[in-house]
Amino acid sequence: MEQAAALLSSQMGDVPKTAIVLGTGLSGLTDSLSVERSWEFTHLPGFPRLTVASHPGRLIKADMDGSPVLVLDGRAHIYEGYDAKEVTVPMRVLGSLGVEQVILTNACGSMNPASISGDIVLLEDHINLMGVNPLEGPNHNDWGPRFPDMSDPYDGALRHMARTVASEEGIALREGVYVAVVGPNLETRAEYRMLSRMGADVVGMSTVPEVLVARHMGMRVLAFAVVTDECDPDNLSPISIDDVLAAAAQASGPLERLVRKIVPRM
């Protein structure tokens, strides 16, 4: 991580204060960026190699309508065989470089009948059901505290601003609790029923490890989940990765518009 941070800071120039992480099927957001420079994950020491075709794996420095941003185009998942620390190396490096705030995106299933495929859900809170934690092990006190607070992991002021921007733009935005599971299988009917009863609105296989690391390092977090499948335990249809990607692509237009309007106001 130190090597990656040193390499990047020697090549990057000014470090943008805002970073964006693009989840499954949401890479299209990079098409409209004016890219200043990009680095393949494979050229960055300590960065995970991505094994899922929908994730290219690049770090991009770009300009978004006049605001400098860093974009992590692709992420590693625990289901690929990495541990929680390995999947959060890119987030640690962003924190070490001095990034102050991050926007995370992901694809999710929705147990809440109010959110249907293609909806964008603003995360208000999360439940970590992964059984692992990137903060396990000796704590590096220069990174953050041993027992980081999680009373408001998704920054209240940023969420308020995101809701305002969404209503100005006429983009429907739901809010909900995200539960993180390891995957890679989608859930059984009994599992969706349990996740819903425990208080989650949406479920996915990412984001929470990155949020824990970002909050550990004091970065402010905003996160959006795109609903790619509806998880009604009493009426569940089979789902394929192609369905997930198609639904993510459908929502990526409005999500991109939302992110472009939010970044300059952060």
Site residues (vs ligand HPA, CB under 6 A)? 107-109, 181, 183, 186-187, 203-205, 228-229, 231, 244
Nearer to ligand HPA, 100 or 191 (CB): 191
CB of 256 to ligand HPA, least distance (A): 19
**Beta-carbon contacts of residue 19 (< 8 Å; ≥ 6 apart):** 69, 70, 71, 72, 94, 99, 101, 102, 103
Q: Across the strands, what pairs with 58? A: 40, 73
Whose CA is closest to 188, among 119, 234, 242, 227? Answer: 234
> Could you tell me the smallest distance in angstroms from the CB atom of residue 180 to ligand HPA?
9
- Rank residues 187 and 201 by Cβ distance to ligand HPA and give the closer one: 187
DSSP state, 186?
P
Smallest distance, ligand HPA to C-beta of residue 24, A:
7
Angstrom distances, CA of residue 242 to CA of 7, 113, 121, 228, 231:
37, 22, 21, 10, 16
Nearest distance in Å: CB 108, ligand HPA: 5
Of residues 72 and 186, the one with the C-beta less far from ligand HPA: 186
Please, are residues 154 and 124 in contact by the beta-carbon 8 Å criterion?
yes
Q: Which is nearer to ligand HPA, 30 or 228 (CB)?
A: 228
Task: Provide the CB-side half-sphere exposure for 214 (13 A, CA).
Answer: 28
Coil vs helix vs strand at 254: helix
Smallest distance, Å, CB 25 to ligand HPA? 9
Closest CB to ligand HPA among 77 and 216? 77
- Rg for the chain (alpha carbons), in Å? 17
CB of 86 to ligand HPA, least distance (A): 20
Q: Are 23 and 111 in contact (CB under 8 A)?
A: no
Question: Measured from the CB atom, is 120 or 181 closer to ligand HPA?
Answer: 181
Alpha helix segments (H runs only) across 13-144: 84-87, 89-97
**Residue closest to ligand HPA (Cβ):** 109
